[in-house]
Amino acid sequence: MTNHDLNDGSAVKHRHRHEGPQKHVIAFIFSIILTLIAFATVAAGGVNTAFTVLLLLVMAVLQVLVQLGYWMHLKDKGHMMPIVFMAGGFFVAGLAIIAALYWMWW
Amino acid sequence: MAHAHSVKRHKGLMDWLTTVDHKKIAILYLIAGGLFFGIGGIEALLIRVQLAKPMNDFVTAQQFNELITMHGTTMIFLGVMPVIFALMNAVVPLQIGARDVAFPFLNSLGFWTFLFGGLLLNLSWVMGGAPDAGWTSYTPLSSTTYSLTHGVDFYTIGLQIAGLGTLIGGINFLATIITMRAPGMSFMRMPMFTWTSFVTSAMILFAFPAVTVGLVLLSFDRILGANFFNVEAGGNPVLWQHIFWIFGHPEVYILILPAFGVISEVVSTFSRKRLFGYSSMVFATILIAFLGFMVWAHHMFTTGMGPVANALFSIATMLIAVPTGIKIFNWLFTMWGGQIRFTTANLFAAGFIPTFVMGGVTGVMLASAPADYQYHDTYFVVAHFHYVIVGGLVLGLFAGLHYWWPKMFGRVLNEGLGKVEFWTFIIGFHLTFFVQHFLGLIGMQRRVFTYLPNQGFDLMNLISTIGAFLMGVGVIIFLVNVAISFKQPKGVAGDVWEDGRTLEWAIPSPPPEYNFKQTPLVRGIDAFWKEKMAGNTEMTPAEPVGPIHMPSPTILPFVMSVGLFIAGLGFMFTSDDFGNSLLNFLFSNYIITGIGLAITFGSMLLRSLYDDHGWHIEPEEMNDKGVKA
Amino acid sequence: MTTPHAQQASGALPHEPEKATLEGRNKVLGFWLFLGGEAVLFGTLFATFLTLRNQVADGPSASELFSLPITAAATFILLISSLTSVFAIQAMHRGNRTSLARWLGITVVLGLAFLVLEIYEFTEYIVHDDYGMTTSAFSSAFYTLVGFHGAHVLFGILWISILIGQLFKKGLTVVTAPKVYVSAMYWHFIDVVWVFIFTVVYLLGKVVG
């Protein structure tokens, strides 16, 4: 059960007062940099293909973690169930992708 | 504040169309599920009549294909799923001490979308031919090259709409179980049926979107000329198999887990013992769900995935026998030394255990990839999955219906008739399907509309047909029993079995609209039994008596589902020539589809714009006089 | 159970109004569950796309077809819109309805810009290159995956626009706040999906296509 005590408002407020736009702007700049690296690598070309693929995937995963963790608050307390069910969704999605990549063509 | 909103209360048919009460939605699910179960059953009997003797011409090959396709599809998606949802709706909120589900509106929407999806699918019988590519609808058999009627379109569109309803229902039950539990009911104090409903709902959440995509791809191939499964343009039919079974295998665990929950409740109640190994039951349920997602390709051993994939999926499949075995032994140990009462419900539960084990054993046989090359597409497979789905799930559903019938309707089913029903059904079942193992092993193939005489198939097929009719008799006895039960006056005791362990038995039968006058305080596993053992006659309340907030009835879910129905029908016939320029214009420009979607999204908009403030039941309107233990 | 209007009557809006009522908390949780299902939906579409990525038949391949500048523009637009929806929620937590509505409005405009780019891209392919749904298995998978995402963007634009209207009509209350919060979650999820689309479809398409 989510124990949300309404009388606890002051404490909550205090915690959030420090959460200005700066943190999100930093996360945003981080995402922009990740995106730029990804696009620049592809636009420049000439880099080893396997390395590029790996790099692009890492950039994508990092950016998704920023979105989910910071902007969708999954890193905050009280998000156990959302994390479990998002992880479940990504897990099954991964199964489908593995099947499609490895067990489709022979 | 409480008197601020008066709400219009509907009567008669309008009451049923607009209800958001989980107990009434349970009854709707039961009626609709029963209807489709009956249709699927008649289809089964027609199949068995055709196969009763060699070279029979009772139906044509095309009709036979339509019958087997619709039998499988109807039974799985429209027959047993809604009956499971009926039990979940009727029982889960009561078991967790809640007044309602988390999303009453969505609950209603889930039912109506399921119903209209099912109706759309069955409309195919009178609109140019039913789907005929098997319930798995494998491509290229289901492509426009080989399936010329609109049958498969009814399948893809109908199942998408019905599947949407199931997905909505799953999300609703997950949220309900996570947030609506009464004070003191931790996860590890939840009754087993609630646990299995929770895990089943999670599996629905992760499995149904996959099949939705599969159905979208297939309908795009068929209606828009896409090439997902069209080899000529680079498509791959194996993609359909993967997507279908990534959904399809979890689906069979979606079906069986609630039955496991029912059996756990029934066996424990009628043994007058707490469930043996509760935590291992929970663990086994979760493990089965997890492994259930890892084994889909065992349906595809013969497609040629190669030895590595086959070995992996073979081992993963055999692993499922471990948690399932844990469950079987736990039920046996629950009965061991208990004061067992063989009520009809418990008879079905006791019949379930050995029958399901037989289905499990053939499952492990099929899991062995090399052997599967022999079993594949024979009646051995047909026997196997009917042992787990009928011998497992359907026996479990009958157990659950007999067990909770008094809670749902305030009337008990006749025990004598119930026992006749049990024996007729289970003898008929084994007659029908036991011989099919051997039919398969000696080479009779499934999905073939007839067979030549003197191959050793004749007698066993006749026995199978006789058994099928016996099962039909069993179901008719059940219906007679239901009819008789409605002649009784309403209102049996709340704890009608006298040994009720969980919260639903602490309130009247049938429960009042608000379920619990005061939210109960849960002090342990088997909450109501614990109170009874402490000498209390009712639950300790966790709150004072006060006005209870209720959601308003609404017609919008019904209208939204009608919209989807119209949109689906419109999309299906976009490239047909009706010989009428107006109709051609309306369909080929997606105008009908647009109207349907406008109805659905318009209703969504209305729902968003007009807040439902609900209404209140005042303490003086609550007239139940406590609960006798 | 706290009823929404009882809260409203008391006047003060709690700091996190989206979680002030059981209905609100249920809505947020239920939407997370829905997003878990959406992850499977898009995962299956990605699986379809990946397995058919080289099945171009007689049509052009990914690297011949795609133009990076348009994709880059679309990506940055959607990324910025994710930030503006974060600012919207922060405004909501400050209880500032006007600022909330403004940020939501900017989000909608950015969403529209993204959609215009996507429609432009699709029409280029269809009209210029005669490259449609029926060209090849690859084209079917491409249009279905990216089109599903585009349809989600369209739905989000309509949804958030309606919510802006409701904010002006009904105010920022414990009833409207969960709706706004959930729509912001949806918008972030759309961006999450787009991150994978620009990486897997467009960039990897250029690299290995």
DSSP for B610-624? S----EEE-GGG---
pLDDT of residue B579: 85
* Residue among B102, B106, B56 at smallest CA distance from B449: B56
CB atoms A71 and C188 under 8 Å: yes
CATH of residue C170's domain is 1.20.120.80
* B390 compared with A19, residue with greater pLDDT: B390
If phi > 0 it is left, if psi is from -120 to 50 it is alpha, else beta; for residue B423 that is alpha
Neighboring chain A residues of B246 at a CB cutoff of 8 Å: 92, 95-96, 99
Q: Which residues of B23-38 are buried (b: 16+ CB within 10 A; e: fewer)?
A: bbbbbbbbebbbbbbe
Each as own residue / partner, the long-range contacts of residues B442-446 (CB below 8 Å, 24 or more positions apart, any chain) are B443/B378, B444/B378, B444/B379, B445/B377, B445/B378, B445/B379, B446/B377, B446/B378, B446/B379, B446/B381, B446/B382
Domain-located, residue C23: yes
Contact B75, B123 (CB under 8 A): no
CB atoms C4 and B210 under 8 Å: no
> A63-80 pLDDT, tens per residue?
999 989 888 888 888 899
pTM value is 0.94
Domain-located, residue C3: no
Chain B interface disruption, residue of C27, C45, C53, C134, most B CBs within 10 A: C134
Q: Which 34-93 residues of chain A touch chain B by CB within 8 A?
A: 81, 85, 88-89, 91-92
pLDDT of residue B417: 97
Each as own residue / partner, the long-range contacts of residues B286-290 (CB below 8 Å, 24 or more positions apart, any chain) are B286/B199, B287/B322, B287/B323, B288/B199, B288/B253, B288/B257, B288/B320, B288/B323, B288/B324, B289/B199, B289/B200, B289/B202, B289/B203, B289/B250, B289/B253, B289/B257
Instruction: Show the CA angle centred on residue B222, arms to residues C193 and C122, nearest 5°.
Output: 45
- Determine the Cα–Cα distance for residues C189 and C82; give it in Å rounded to an integer: 9
CB atoms A104 and B242 under 8 Å: yes
pLDDT of residue B623: 67
- Determine the Cα–Cα distance for residues B518 and B541; give it in Å rounded to an integer: 6
* Residue among B111, B113, B106, B86 at smallest CA distance from B172: B106
Question: What is the number of domains present in chain C?
Answer: 1
Q: Which residues of B93-132 are buried (b: 16+ CB within 10 A; e: fewer)?
A: bbbbbbbbbbbbbbbbbbbbbbbbbbbbbbbbeebebbbb
Contact C45, B227 (CB under 8 A): no
Neighboring chain B residues of C51 at a CB cutoff of 8 Å: 236, 239
Token pair for B358: 């037989």
> pLDDT means per 10 residues in chain B (629 residues)?
54 92 97 97 97 96 96 96 97 96 96 97 94 95 93 96 97 97 96 98 97 97 95 95 97 96 97 96 97 96 93 96 97 96 97 97 96 96 97 97 96 96 98 97 95 96 98 97 93 92 94 94 95 92 92 95 96 87 88 96 94 87 53
Contact C163, C183 (CB under 8 A): yes
* Residue among B174, B156, B169 at smallest CA distance from B240: B156
Domain-located, residue C2: no
pLDDT of residue B421: 97
Look at residue A3 and tell me whether its pLDDT is greater than 50. no
B12-554+612-621 has which CATH code? 1.20.210.10
Neighboring chain C residues of B225 at a CB cutoff of 8 Å: 133-134
Q: What is the overall mean pLDDT for chain C?
A: 91
pLDDT of residue C11: 53
> C147-191 pLDDT, tens per residue?
999 999 999 999 999 999 999 999 999 999 999 999 999 999 999
Domain-located, residue C5: no
B/C interface, count of CB pairs below 8 Å: 128
Chain A residue at shortest CA distance from B203 = A88
Distance from CA of B339 to the nearest CA of A (A): 36
Distance from CA of B203 to the nearest CA of A (A): 9
Chain A residue at shortest CA distance from B238 = A104
CB atoms A60 and C20 under 8 Å: no
Each as own residue / partner, the long-range contacts of residues C102-105 (CB below 8 Å, 24 or more positions apart, any chain) are C104/C160, C104/C163, C104/C164, C104/C167, C104/C180, C105/C164
Domain-located, residue C1: no
pLDDT of residue B626: 45
Rounded to the nearest 5°, which phi and psi values hold at A33?
-60, -45
B contact chains, 3+ CB pairs < 8 A: A, C
Token pair for B475: 């179901």
Confidence of residue A5 (pLDDT cuts 50, 70, 90): very low
Residue C49's domain spans which residues?
18-208
What 3-state class would DSSP assign to B520? Answer: strand
DSSP for B386-433? HHHIIIIIIHHHHHHHHHHHHHHHS-PPPHHHHHHHHHHHHHHHHHHH
pLDDT of residue B577: 84
- Please report which helix (H) or strand (E) contains residue B548, including its range: strand B548-550
- Residue in the structure block whose two tokens are 């009709």: B63
- Determine the Cα–Cα distance for residues C93 and B606; give it in Å rounded to an integer: 27
A103, with CB counted inside 10 A (0-12, 13-18, 19+), is buried
Domains of chain B: which residue ranges?
Answer: 12-554+612-621, 561-611
DSSP E strands, B28-103: none
Contact C110, C81 (CB under 8 A): yes
Q: Which residues contact B411 (CB under 8 A, 6 or more apart)?
A: B405, B485, B486, B488, B489, B490, B492
C contact chains, 3+ CB pairs < 8 A: A, B
- Determine the Cα–Cα distance for residues B264 and C34; give it in Å rounded to an integer: 29
Domain-located, residue C152: yes
Confidence of residue A13 (pLDDT cuts 50, 70, 90): very low
Domain-located, residue C141: yes
pLDDT of residue B79: 95
- What is the CB neighbour count within 10 angstroms for residue B237? 17
Give me the amino acid identity at C66.
Answer: F
First-residue to last-residue Cα distance in chain B: 36
Q: Which residues contact A101 (CB under 8 A, 6 or more apart)?
A: C47, C50, C51
Look at residue A1 and tell me whether its pLDDT is greater than 60. no
Tell me which residue in B225, B234, B243 faces C133 most closely, judged by beta carbons: B225
Segment A11-32 shows an average pLDDT of: 70
Q: Which 86-125 residues of chain C touch chain A by CB within 8 A?
A: 86-87, 90, 93
Chain C residue at shortest CA distance from B239 = C48
Provide the sign of the torsion angle of the four alpha carbons B17, B18, B23, B25, taken in this order: positive
Distance from CA of A106 to the nearest CA of B (A): 7
CB atoms C166 and B225 under 8 Å: no
Look at residue C102 and tell me whether its pLDDT is greater than 60. yes
CB atoms A96 and C44 under 8 Å: yes
Q: Between the CA of residue C174 and those of A2, A12, B259, what are the distances in Å?
A: 17, 17, 40
Contact B463, B433 (CB under 8 A): no
| Nearest-10 Cα torsion for B413, B418, B421, B426 | 120
CB atoms A32 and C76 under 8 Å: yes
